[in-house]
Amino acid sequence: MTEAATQRQLLAILGPVAGLHVERTNTGVAVDPRTGRHVRFGTPGAPDVRLTVAGRAVAIEVKSPRGRQSDDQRRWQAAHERAGGVYLLCRDAVATALEVASLAESWGDCATAENIRRRC
């Protein structure tokens, strides 16, 4: 499965779950149609998906089965984890969603955990 397809599946599972705040993060370059200039947006290395689960920050980087993190992504991960956040590398949307459910449960949010498991 492609990264884009895995990401869509992950967002479809987690997006509607009550108790989660889910956002897709975009990073890249676009051309300003008015000026023709290239405009960079986002933070290099930022994860594809950010969640707030039971008041805690979770970042998810989606990769294909053979995909690898860039140096920027590894640096972002290290900074996030140093700050107390959880970082997940997702190659399978259902497995990652179940990992998020386990985190929610371990942090005392059993209702959110059960809602995620139902959607898997």
66-69 CB contacts, 8 Å cutoff, 24+ apart = 67/3, 67/91
pLDDT value at residue 24: 95
Radius of gyration over every alpha carbon of the chain, rounded to an integer in angstroms: 15
Record the tokens describing residue 50, joined without a space. 């950010």
Question: b/e per residue, 5-19, with b = 16+ CB within 10 A?
Answer: ebbebbbebbeebee
pLDDT value at residue 95: 98
pLDDT tens-digit profile of 57-99?
999 999 999 999 999 999 999 999 999 999 999 999 999 999 9
Percent of the chain with pLDDT over 90: 95
Mean pLDDT (the chain, rounded): 96
CA atoms of 119 and 26, how far apart (whole Å):
25
pLDDT value at residue 111: 95
Most distant CA pair in the chain: distance in Å? 51
pLDDT value at residue 89: 98
Record the tokens describing residue 90, joined without a space. 């997702």
pLDDT value at residue 79: 98
pLDDT tens-digit profile of 10-43?
999 999 999 999 999 989 899 999 999 999 999 9
pLDDT value at residue 47: 97
CATH architecture for segment(s) 3-119? 3-Layer(aba) Sandwich (3.40)
